[in-house]
A = this chain, B = another copy of it.
Amino acid sequence: MTIGLDMMGGDFAPLEAVKGTFEYLQEENSSAFLILIGDEAGLNPLVAEYKIPKDKIKIVHADEVIDMHEHPTKALKEKQRSSIAIGFHLLASGKIDAFISAGNTGAMLVGALFSIKALEGVLRPTISTIIPKENGGTGLLLDVGLNADCKPEQLNQFAVMGSVFAQTILGIENPRVGLLNVGEEEGKGNILCQATFPMLKENKHINFIGNVEGRDVFIDKADVMVCEGFTGNIILKLAESLYDITQRKKIQHDYFDRFNFENYGGTPVLGVNKPVIIGHGISQARSFKNMIALAQKMIEKNVMQRMKDELV
């Protein structure tokens, strides 16, 4: 398998991307060949310095970089020789099997939505976040911002995609799916939830356990929590801010350490036909290593094909 990595994305590029590449290749079970996309003149000395084995990587030169604050669609169109545009070109043409970047999030989303194809039958791809549960476990919340307005059919698909991800990647055997809502009983909630509940209930591809509320997000009730991207995005950013607040207030506890979203490497786009992973701008070596490892696992476990099968 071949994984493409944007070396120019993120606040600490390209150094931390190079270090992450090194760390990944040190891992015993690393099996991917890496295409490092970025400024060749800048990368060559770093690759040499970190003694990255030449038979495991290939540098593909990119003249340009899409900055963090550029308009995504415009930048992708105008900067065809940027590392992100080249990455999606390689992905679309089959030269790489997955693409990773900690660069401009909007450009990554636009690229994922328009450069490669959505899985057959998928109404809209989605992005998710890991939720640290009080008992030490891990949950998945989706959508967290790609789809601010949703139809019930979309939430139903998020439930399936989230279940496959939880099963294959998080290792949760029969993931419990909850509909994020404002009440426990069927019939509660806004119009969207009222229409979504019966669909989830009848969906044989998931283990639906009913509604979950705001108070259940951080506790061990549902493994996969489904909502539209508006609520999901607000929860994600609120959870991220909690970590920042505990840091600033010097509240030290293992539980809040798990709210450090750097731990999780990056956010995969689900529902497209190849793994695309979007990293945080502040990604460091460990995040890059985790993202490459996640891409490898997604390819190995054939996550995309399994989603397609379950969505039928």
Binding site for B on A (CB under 8 A): 134, 145, 148-149, 180, 182, 189-191, 193, 213-219, 228-231, 233-242, 244-245, 248-249, 251, 253, 255-256
Contacts and interface: CB of A to CB of B under 8 A. Distances in A.
B242 A190 contact: no
A123 to B, nearest CB: 16
B190 A245 contact: no
A218 B238 contact: yes
A162 to B, nearest CB: 18
14 contacts: A134-B245, A148-B190, A148-B193, A149-B190, A213-B233, A213-B234, A214-B234, A215-B238, A217-B234, A217-B238, A235-B238, A245-B255, A251-B253, A251-B256
Contacts of A239: 214
Given A241-B215, A245-B134, A253-B251, A234 B148 contact: no
B182 A145 contact: yes
A248 B218 CA distance: 13
Task: Identify the interface centre among A134, A180, A182: most chain B CB within 10 Å of its CB.
Answer: A182
A206 B253 CA distance: 40
Nearest to A233: B182
A126 to B, nearest CB: 14
A138 to B, nearest CB: 16
A239 B241 CA distance: 13
A226 to B, nearest CB: 13
B235 A217 contact: no
Contacts of A145: 182
A174 B255 CA distance: 37
A135 to B, nearest CB: 10
Contacts of A231: 230-231, 234
A230 B134 contact: no
Given A148-B193, A231-B231, A251-B251, 19 more contacts: A134-B248, A145-B182, A180-B234, A182-B233, A190-B228, A193-B230, A213-B234, A214-B234, A214-B237, A214-B239, A215-B238, A216-B241, A217-B234, A217-B241, A218-B242, A219-B245, A231-B234, A249-B253, A251-B253
A191 B255 CA distance: 36
Contacts of A249: 134, 253, 255
Contact of A237 (B215, B228, B255): B215
Contacts of A230: 182, 189-190, 193, 231
A214 to B, nearest CB: 3
A234 B149 contact: no
Contacts of A238: 214-215, 217-218, 235, 238
Contacts of A148: 182, 189-191, 193
4 nearest interchain CB pairs? A214-B237, A214-B234, A148-B190, A214-B238
A148 B255 CA distance: 31
A236 B218 contact: no
Task: Identify the interface centre among A214, A235, A236, A255: most chain B CB within 10 Å of its CB.
Answer: A214
